[in-house]
Amino acid sequence: MEHSEFLPGALRPPAPLCPDDLGDAQALVAEVGWNQTERDWRMFLELGRVQAIRTDAGRVIATAATLPYGGFGWISMVLVTATWRRRGLASQLLRGAIDELCGAGLVPVLDATPAGREVYRTLGFADTWGFARLVRPAISAIHNPASVVDDVEVRPITDAMWPEICAYDTTAFGSERSRLLTCLRGRMPAAELVALRGGRLAGFLLGREGCIATQLGPLVAEDAATARALLAQGLAAITGPVFVDLVDSKTAIRAFVEAQGFAFTRPLTRMVHGRASAFDDGTRTFAVVGPEFG
């Protein structure tokens, strides 16, 4: 960002982000080194809402996104350009997001870094479960899939399977989110995979491109063997850097991805507002879409 355009001065009150603002919004992502693309911002505009604070000149210098699901809603993309940090803008937008979701009868949910976790606790959020971001750097060539369990068949997702996959995801995520999943389809075709065991749906994987790396997730499966089969097939087709946000309890899959060259980068905690239990099915959720979407 050109800091001269963001020097302290008068600010406009928060107002919805518009398509014309996406250049400024993406500059905020680039400033902090996050992975989201303009296409991700457009998903928020289509499926949820982004509140933005602008300078008097109309430049966006802070954002916060909300994404409603059934019974709960996501908060993410709380960003403030460096010149305007420590002035209460993030807290203002965060409180506005909480009020917006609570006012709609939805429980706010978010994924927190260790530093953010302490702040969110003071606002009424409680821990549910943790996950870790693991990163594999770029590799020189595509490899054959690692050995997987013989009775798991992994194949590309088809339109005929899609309604069943969305229904399966609903029971694991705790809410229907087929519109979000549909927005993800086509963004990383090599990772759009379904697992079958005995002809029955046993799991699925999606992915999307990012500014820094391919993000694999959600990964939802009946068991670790199925999750491993899906990941092995998806990873076999990607040579660039890869992120996977893996649930802490999935230790067998953690060992598998580390053997594929992944390394831990940071912990995150899923937190809910005003209650102590998660909405997700912790048994079948192996990797999340990402902190921005859930």
pLDDT digits (tens, 9 = 90+) for 167-203: 999 999 999 999 999 999 999 999 999 999 999 999 9
Predicted structure pTM score:
0.93
Count Cα atoms within 13 angstroms, Cβ side, for 273. Answer: 24
Per-residue burial over 191-219, b = 16 or more CB atoms within 10 Å of its CB, e = otherwise = bbbbbbbeeebbbbbbbbebebbbbbbbb
The residue count for the chain: 294
- Please state which of the ranges 139-153, 260-274, 275-289 shows the lowest mean pLDDT: 139-153
DSSP, residue by residue, 116-168: HHHHHHHTTEEEEEEEEEEEE---SS--PPPP--TTEEEEE--TTTHHHHHHH
Burial class (CB in 10 A: 0-12, 13-18, 19+), 57: exposed
Alpha helices per DSSP H over the chain: 22-32, 38-47, 89-103, 114-122, 162-173, 178-184, 224-235, 251-259
| Mean pLDDT estimate for the chain | 94
CB 289 within 8 A of CB 180: yes
* C-alpha–C-alpha distance, residues 232 and 236, integer Å: 6
pLDDT band at 218; cut points 50, 70, 90: very high
* C-alpha–C-alpha distance, residues 280 and 294, integer Å: 10
- Please state which of the ranges 5-19, 54-68, 251-265 shows the lowest mean pLDDT: 5-19
Helix, strand, coil % over all residues of the chain, rounded to 5: 35, 30, 35
Which pairing describes strands 125-136 and 285-287: parallel, antiparallel, or unpaired?
unpaired
pLDDT digits (tens, 9 = 90+) for 90-139: 999 999 999 999 999 999 999 999 989 999 999 999 999 999 999 999 99
Q: Identify residue 229 by its one-letter amino acid code.
A: A
pLDDT band at 4; cut points 50, 70, 90: very low
CA angle 192-195-197, nearest 5°? Answer: 170
**Token pair belonging to 237:** 């087709």
The pLDDT value recorded for residue 160 is 97
CB 236 within 8 A of CB 142: yes
**Domains of the chain, each with CATH number or no CATH:** 3-105 (3.40.630.30), 132-287 (3.40.630.90)
pLDDT digits (tens, 9 = 90+) for 219-249: 999 999 999 999 999 999 899 999 999 999 9
* C-alpha–C-alpha distance, residues 126 and 272, integer Å: 5
The pLDDT value recorded for residue 149 is 66
CB 230 within 8 A of CB 195: yes
